[in-house]
């Protein structure tokens, strides 16, 4: 205040005005709310409420309490058993629940893909997503167009796939081992949407590839590559799991050498003299 | 030659219904023309009747021989289209998933062979399967020779040639699968570079010499190409010829049996019986390789993508014969020595050099070590049955276990991923197993050999179970044993004693001359261990009567 030319006394006096506290609170709330409305993703919980999906949030909460709260806490605040889910977004909910990884069957190094429970319907996932979004936003689920393999450039996606994914997921997404019992799963069962969501949310041991690391368009290219590779018919015969020389070695020893030994025994066999 | 032809023609050919009285002029003329100039007649006469003993395991080496022939043929086909260059090209071929991707000429031409050249993919796959079968065939052949003691005098040098062949085959394989310049083989090349650069003093220079500068450079594919298609196959061909000639001259070993001795060879003559079998076996080898090449995809480089030093895939493995080196690298603790600003990366040097050194040096030296321990300088033409030299067999199985554990752990990431075992548990298992496994294998094998020897001794002294149960006057039941068939008995009688160098002190307590030094004492001790006969074969003196003996005379052995 010194050197600004404004009387210190007058500010102090205004601060002590009976309505000053109210004004400051109003200003702060206004800035926060207004700022949030300006910068937050447009279709957040507010939007859900505005478009008449408030019920989804309530339904989602009851689903959450029934199926998720024992590990993640009654308000998704997290417990020693499971992380807080505030801010993980609809993408994480859809990835984990639609792949059967959540609700978890049993705690282990890593949650595994498994058949879906009876209550897991697209509608239930939407409701859970709405509830989680209402808690603190987070990455959204991609639109159908964003993950349409037909719209991607597979060759370009392949280069990105080799640079970013294969060190864990193998050349063609056949999966691979990680440390401490964790593993990078086989990508053959993942839907394009799940692949996208895994990239933006980084589930379990996987790092996050957000939009500044890999643009949504490049993500679609990668999805195109993954999908085309798993649909690619092996031109050379049986693919042997597409995991490289390990199965080739097994085949040459088990099939190749057994065949050679059996034929050797056959052509040197003699009738025993009685 | 001429006589053979004469007979054949006389027997088979007819002219206008009348039997020929002499060889037709075109045949006789050509034959004697060649014979006069090449002297081939007497050579063939002598060698076509060469006798080869018959045992299925004697054919295992031929797997490698015939695979090599198929490798030469398919490899020549591949050279017609392969471009060993590392110049950059942009792919515009029929494989959609790589269109527009920058890659080396080598990789692009391999894609071309796979997708555009007619029969190219089949030839590539046959070449690769033949390579795997080549090395696998060499390995089983070598194991057969080892466990039957067929490397003993006079065949030690041929054994050394075999060890050289195996070593060269590994180098041939490494240079071969690196050629397509794909992402998988690039990982192997990167390890090769890592090993070369980790060598003390010369590492950096050697790497720059090999790669023509910084890794990966622009030269290495072309250099590997020269090695792979010219130098190494040339040496392989020369050594294989030497291997065959020596085998031919020294004659093949035979299994012990009726009428077989150290001075004869019992079997079928080369022409026609053995030649027919060998020809058939070539066709079987061809069937195996063509069948695998047709139905089982191998080294699908289009799935791997072009090599970039910055990319690496999960599950990067070498071909099976390099697996033991990969495994050694994976279980090695991260040890290194830093001294005066120089680093000695033991975590790379030890796994790269020690297992290979143990296996190859051990193989090369074994015949000579055995000779030294047993003092046996005799010629051996009768093969040992593995059980009859239990220490040799145990050492062999020990080595197989050592190799096998390393090989298995070369795939520890796939094992971890597919059987859901913690990766680190496999590593820790490997670190213990590589020490304990061979020792355990030694003990178990030794027991099994002794058990089998006991079984043989039992057959010789008590005969074989006849299936006839006899009731004795006193109510006891026994199974009647009959003597073994003569050929089986002769086979068992082939058990030879292993010589032992003298080591016992004489009556005045002075050990013999050679056994006075520490080394001499150790030798005498090892020799005694190696050669002592624990279960001698005793022929049954009283034959058939034995089974009918009353109770109380070793009958517990007969009642089962």
Residues of B in contact with A236 (CB under 8 A): 121, 125, 296-298, 300
Task: List, in sequence order, every beta strand (DSSP E) within B62-213.
Answer: 88-90, 102-104
Tokens 């005066």: give the residue.
Answer: B340
Q: What pLDDT shows up at residue A40?
A: 58
The answer to whether A48 faces chain B, any CB pair under 8 Å, is no
Alpha carbon of A71: minimum distance to chain B alpha carbons (Å): 24
Span A152-159, average pLDDT: 94
For chain B, the maximum distance between any two Cα atoms, rounded to a whole number of angstroms, is 96
The answer to whether B446 faces chain A, any CB pair under 8 Å, is no
Residue of B nearest to A228 (CA): B97
Q: Are B443 and B395 in contact (CB under 8 A)?
A: no
Q: Are B162 and B64 in contact (CB under 8 A)?
A: no
Q: Do A167 and B314 touch (CB under 8 A)?
A: yes
pLDDT in tens, B425-446: 999 999 999 999 999 999 999 9
Q: Do A238 and B308 touch (CB under 8 A)?
A: no
Quote the CA–CA distance of B302 and B98 in Å, as a whole number: 8
Closest CA to B499 of B521, B526, B532, B535: B532
The answer to whether B52 faces chain A, any CB pair under 8 Å, is no
> A251 to each of A215, A244, B292, B300, B485, how far by Cα in Å?
41, 12, 9, 15, 39
Alpha carbon of A159: minimum distance to chain B alpha carbons (Å): 8
CB atoms within 10 A of CB A229: 22
Quote the CA–CA distance of B527 and B524 in Å, as a whole number: 5
The answer to whether A156 faces chain B, any CB pair under 8 Å, is yes
pLDDT in tens, B307-318: 999 999 998 999
B60 — pLDDT class (breaks 50, 70, 90) = very high
Q: Do A158 and B101 touch (CB under 8 A)?
A: yes
Q: What pLDDT shows up at residue B543?
A: 45
pLDDT in tens, B6-52: 444 444 444 454 566 788 888 889 888 888 888 878 888 888 888 88
Closest CA to B372 of B208, B519, B241, B214: B519
The answer to whether B533 faces chain A, any CB pair under 8 Å, is no
Closest CA to B173 of B161, B163, B195, B188: B188
The answer to whether A261 faces chain B, any CB pair under 8 Å, is yes
pLDDT at residue B542 greater than cutoff 70: no
Span A210-236, average pLDDT: 93
Beta bridge partner(s), residue B470: B478
Q: What pLDDT shows up at residue B540?
A: 62
Angle between helices B412-419 and B323-331 (to 10 degrees): 80
Tokens 């494989």: give the residue.
Answer: B95
Tell me whether strands B337-339 and A176-177 are parallel, antiparallel or unpaired. unpaired
B272 — pLDDT class (breaks 50, 70, 90) = confident
Residues of B in contact with A155 (CB under 8 A): 96-101
Please give the mean pLDDT across all residues of chain B: 90
Residues of A in contact with B320 (CB under 8 A): 245, 248-249, 252-253
Q: Do B56 and A268 touch (CB under 8 A)?
A: yes
Alpha carbon of B509: minimum distance to chain A alpha carbons (Å): 54
Q: What pLDDT shows up at residue B2?
A: 40
Q: Do B422 and A162 touch (CB under 8 A)?
A: no
The verdict on whether omega for the bond into residue B505 sits within 30 degrees of 0, i.e. cis, is no
Residue B511 or B131, more confident: B131
Q: Are B156 and B368 in contact (CB under 8 A)?
A: yes
Q: What single-letter DSSP state applies at residue B511?
A: -
Q: What pLDDT shows up at residue B548?
A: 42
The answer to whether B316 faces chain A, any CB pair under 8 Å, is yes
The answer to whether B283 faces chain A, any CB pair under 8 Å, is no
A6 Cβ contact partners less than 8 Å away, ≥ 6 residues apart: none
A157 Cβ contact partners less than 8 Å away, ≥ 6 residues apart: A218, A220, A221, A222, A223, A224, A225, A226
For chain A, the maximum distance between any two Cα atoms, rounded to a whole number of angstroms, is 128
- Residue to mutate among B417, B426, B485, B490, with most A CBs inside 10 A, is B417
Closest CA to A147 of A114, A110, A194: A194
> B478 to each of B92, B149, B412, B461, B462, how far by Cα in Å?
82, 40, 53, 17, 13
Distance of CA B315 to the CA centre of its chain: 27
B320 — pLDDT class (breaks 50, 70, 90) = very high
- Helix H or strand E segment including B19: strand B18-19
Quote the CA–CA distance of A258 and B511 in Å, as a whole number: 52
**Span of B51-55, B90-94, B171-175 with lowest mean pLDDT:** B51-55
> B304 to each of B15, B103, B111, how far by Cα in Å?
65, 12, 11
Residues of B in contact with A263 (CB under 8 A): 281, 284
> Could you tell me the domains of chain B?
2-48 (no CATH), 61-324 (1.20.810.10)
Closest CA to B228 of B181, B162, B174: B174
- Residue to mutate among B313, B424, B426, B482, with most A CBs inside 10 A, is B313
Q: Which of B63, B136, B423 lies at the smallest CB-CB distance from A177?
A: B423
B2 Cβ contact partners less than 8 Å away, ≥ 6 residues apart: B23, B28, B31, B32, B35, B41
Q: Do A246 and B296 touch (CB under 8 A)?
A: no
Residue B439, Cβ density class (10 Å: 0-12 exposed, 13-18 middle, ≥19 buried): exposed
Cβ-Cβ pairs closer than 8 A, A with B, add up to 199
B412 — pLDDT class (breaks 50, 70, 90) = very high
pLDDT at residue A1 greater than cutoff 80: no
Quote the CA–CA distance of B363 and B159 in Å, as a whole number: 9
Span A144-168, average pLDDT: 93
Q: What number of residues does chain A have?
A: 274
Q: What single-letter DSSP state applies at residue B406?
A: H
Report residue B469 as tokens: 């149960």
pLDDT in tens, B92-125: 999 999 999 999 999 999 999 999 999 999 999 9
3-state secondary structure labels for all residues of chain A: CCCCCCCHHHHHHHHCCCCHHHHHHHHHHHHHHHHHHHHCCCCCHHHHHHCCCHHHHHHHHHHHHHHCHHHHCCCCCCECCECCCCCCHHHHHHHHHHCCCCCCCCCCCCCCCCCCCCCCCHHHHHHHHHHHHHHHCCCCCCCCHHHCHHHCCHHHHHHHHHHHCHHHHCCCCCCEECCCCCEECCCCCCCHHHHHHHHHHCCCCCCCCCCCCCCHHHHHHHHHHHHHHHHCCCCCCECHHHCCHHHHHHHHHHHHHHHHHHHHHHHHCCCCCC
Q: What pLDDT shows up at residue A41?
A: 54
Report residue B421 as tokens: 């075992």
Give the dihedral sign, CA B366/B372/B377/B383: negative
The answer to whether B296 faces chain A, any CB pair under 8 Å, is yes
pLDDT at residue A173 greater than cutoff 50: yes
Q: What pLDDT shows up at residue B194?
A: 93
Q: What pLDDT shows up at residue B58?
A: 94
Q: What pLDDT shows up at residue B43?
A: 82
Residues of B in contact with A257 (CB under 8 A): 63, 133, 136-137, 140
Beta bridge partner(s), residue A184: A176
pLDDT in tens, A7-56: 656 666 677 777 878 888 888 888 877 777 666 555 544 555 444 466 88
Backbone angles phi, psi at B372, to 5 degrees: -70, -40
pLDDT in tens, A61-100: 989 999 999 999 988 898 988 899 998 999 999 999 999 9
Q: Do B320 and A251 touch (CB under 8 A)?
A: no
Half-sphere exposure of B417 (CA within 13 A, CB side): 22
Q: What pLDDT shows up at residue B10?
A: 43
Give the dihedral sign, CA A130/A132/A137/A138: negative
pLDDT in tens, B346-374: 999 999 999 999 999 999 999 999 999 99
Q: What single-letter DSSP state applies at residue B306?
A: B
> B331 to each of B198, B218, B300, B327, B409, how far by Cα in Å?
18, 33, 28, 6, 7
pLDDT at residue B54 greater than cutoff 90: no
Q: What single-letter DSSP state applies at residue B420?
A: T
Please spell the DSSP secondary structure of B56-92, one letter per residue.
GGGGHHHHHHHHHHHHHHHHHHHHTT------EEE--
Q: Do A268 and B292 touch (CB under 8 A)?
A: no
Q: What single-letter DSSP state applies at residue B264?
A: -
Q: Which of A162, A228, A264 lies at the smallest CB-CB distance from B60?
A: A264
pLDDT in tens, B444-502: 999 999 999 999 999 999 899 889 999 999 999 998 999 999 989 999 999 989 999 98
The answer to whether A100 faces chain B, any CB pair under 8 Å, is no
Closest CA to B60 of B385, B309, B284, B383: B284
> Could you tell me the domains of chain A?
45-136 (1.10.760.10), 145-231 (1.10.760.10)
Residues of B in contact with A184 (CB under 8 A): 314, 417
Residues of A in contact with B304 (CB under 8 A): 171
Q: Do A171 and B184 touch (CB under 8 A)?
A: yes
The answer to whether A230 faces chain B, any CB pair under 8 Å, is no
Closest CA to A112 of A205, A179, A200, A191: A205
B261 Cβ contact partners less than 8 Å away, ≥ 6 residues apart: B382
Q: Which of A163, A170, A236 lies at the smallest CB-CB distance from B315?
A: A170
pLDDT in tens, A90-102: 999 999 999 999 8
Q: What pLDDT shows up at residue B512?
A: 85
Tell me whether strands B88-90 and B102-104 are parallel, antiparallel or unpaired. antiparallel
- Helix H or strand E segment including B482: strand B477-482
Name the percent of chain A lying above pLDDT 70: 87
Quote the CA–CA distance of B299 and A209 in Å, as a whole number: 31
B135 Cβ contact partners less than 8 Å away, ≥ 6 residues apart: B64, B166, B169, B170, B173, B320, B321
Q: Do B137 and A261 touch (CB under 8 A)?
A: no
CB atoms within 10 A of CB B346: 16
The answer to whether B299 faces chain A, any CB pair under 8 Å, is yes
Quote the CA–CA distance of B89 and B104 in Å, as a whole number: 6
The answer to whether A262 faces chain B, any CB pair under 8 Å, is no
Q: Which residues of B139-155 are buried (b: 16+ CB within 10 A; e: fewer)?
A: bbbbbbbbbbbbbbeeb
Q: Do A261 and B281 touch (CB under 8 A)?
A: no
Q: Are A236 and B115 in contact (CB under 8 A)?
A: no
């Amino acid at each position: 205040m010194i050197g600004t030319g404004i009387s210190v006394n007058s500010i102090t006096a205004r601060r002590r005005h009976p309505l000053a506290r109210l004004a400051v609170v109003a200003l702060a709330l206004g800035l926060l709310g207004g700022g949030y409305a300006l910068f937050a993703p447009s279709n957040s919980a507010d939007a859900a409420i505005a478009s008449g999906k408030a019920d989804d949030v309530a339904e989602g909460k009851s689903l959450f309490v029934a199926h998720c709260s024992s590990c993640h806490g009654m308000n998704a605040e997290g417990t020693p058993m499971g992380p807080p889910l505030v801010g993980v977004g609809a993408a994480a909910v859809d990835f984990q629940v639609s792949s059967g990884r959540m609700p978890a069957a049993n705690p282990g190094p890593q949650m595994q893909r498994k058949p879906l429970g009876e209550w897991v319907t697209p509608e239930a996932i939407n409701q859970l997503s709405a509830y989680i979004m209402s808690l603190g936003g987070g990455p959204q689920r991609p639109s159908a167009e964003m993950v349409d393999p037909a719209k991607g450039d597979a060759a370009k996606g392949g280069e990105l796939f080799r640079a970013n994914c294969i060190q864990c997921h193998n050349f063609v997404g056949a999966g691979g081992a990680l440390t401490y019992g964790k593993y990078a799963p086989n990508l053959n069962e993942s839907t394009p949407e799940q692949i996208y969501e895994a990239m933006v949310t980084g589930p379990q041991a996987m790092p996050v590839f957000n939009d500044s690391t890999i643009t949504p368009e490049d993500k679609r290219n990668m999805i195109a590559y993954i999908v085309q590779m798993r649909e690619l018919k092996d031109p050379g015969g049986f693919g042997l799991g597409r995991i490289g020389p390990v199965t080739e070695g097994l085949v040459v020893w088990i099939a190749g050498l057994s065949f050679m030994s059996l034929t050797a025994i056959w052509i040197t066999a003699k009738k025993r003299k009685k | 030659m001429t006589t053979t032809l004469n007979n054949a023609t006389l027997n088979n050919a007819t002219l206008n219904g009348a039997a020929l009285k002499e060889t037709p002029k075109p045949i006789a003329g050509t034959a004697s023309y060649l014979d006069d100039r090449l002297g081939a007649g007497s050579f063939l006469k002598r060698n076509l009747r060469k006798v080869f003993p018959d045992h299925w395991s004697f054919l295992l080496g031929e797997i490698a021989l015939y695979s090599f022939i198929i490798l030469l043929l398919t490899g020549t086909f591949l050279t017609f289209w392969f471009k060993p260059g590392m110049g950059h090209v942009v792919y515009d071929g029929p494989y959609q998933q790589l269109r527009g991707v920058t890659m080396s000429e080598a990789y692009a031409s391999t894609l071309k062979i796979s997708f555009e050249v007619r029969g190219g993919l089949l030839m590539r796959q046959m070449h690769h399967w033949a390579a795997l079968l080549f090395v696998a065939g060499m390995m089983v052949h070598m194991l057969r020779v080892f466990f039957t003691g067929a490397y003993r005098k006079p065949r030690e040098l041929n054994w050394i040639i075999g060890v050289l062949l195996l070593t060269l085959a590994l180098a041939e394989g490494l240079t071969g699968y690196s050629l397509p310049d794909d992402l998988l083989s690039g990982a192997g090349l990167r390890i090769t570079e890592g090993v070369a650069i980790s060598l003390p003093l010369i590492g950096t220079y050697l790497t720059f010499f090999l790669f023509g500068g910084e890794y990966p450079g622009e030269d290495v594919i072309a250099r590997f190409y020269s090695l792979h298609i010219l130098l190494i196959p040339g040496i392989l061909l020369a050594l294989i010829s030497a291997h065959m000639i020596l085998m031919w001259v020294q004659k093949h070993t035979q299994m012990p049996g009726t009428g077989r001795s150290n001075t004869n060879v019992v079997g079928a003559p080369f022409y026609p019986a053995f030649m027919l079998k060998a020809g058939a076996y070539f066709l079987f080898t061809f069937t195996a390789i063509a069948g695998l090449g047709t139905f089982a995809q191998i080294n699908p480089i289009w799935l791997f993508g072009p090599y970039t030093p910055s990319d690496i895939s999960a599950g990067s493995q070498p071909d099976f014969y390099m697996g033991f080196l990969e495994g050694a690298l994976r279980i090695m603790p991260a040890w290194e020595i830093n001294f005066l600003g120089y680093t000695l990366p033991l975590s790379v040097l030890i796994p790269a050099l020690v297992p290979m050194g143990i296996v190859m040096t051990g193989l090369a030296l074994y015949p000579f070590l055995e000779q030294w321990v047993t003092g046996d300088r005799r010629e051996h033409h009768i093969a040992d049955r593995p059980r009859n030299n239990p220490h040799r067999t145990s050492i062999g199985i020990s080595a197989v276990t050592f190799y096998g554990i390393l090989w298995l752990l070369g795939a520890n990431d796939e094992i971890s991923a597919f059987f859901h075992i913690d990766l680190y548990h496999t590593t820790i298992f490997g670190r213990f197993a590589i020490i304990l496994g061979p020792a355990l294998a030694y003990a178990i094998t030794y027991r099994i050999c002794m058990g089998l020897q006991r079984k043989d001794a039992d057959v010789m002294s008590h005969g074989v179970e006849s299936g006839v149960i006899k009731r004795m006057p006193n109510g006891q039941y026994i199974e009647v044993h009959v003597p073994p068939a003569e050929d089986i008995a002769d086979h068992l009688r082939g058990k030879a004693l292993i010589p032992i160098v003298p080591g016992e002190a004489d009556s005045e307590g002075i050990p013999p001359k050679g056994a006075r030094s520490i080394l001499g004492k150790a030798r005498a001790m090892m020799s005694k261990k190696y050669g002592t006969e624990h279960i001698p074969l005793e022929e049954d003196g009283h034959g058939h009567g034995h089974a009918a003996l009353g109770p109380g005379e070793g009958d517990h052995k007969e009642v089962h």
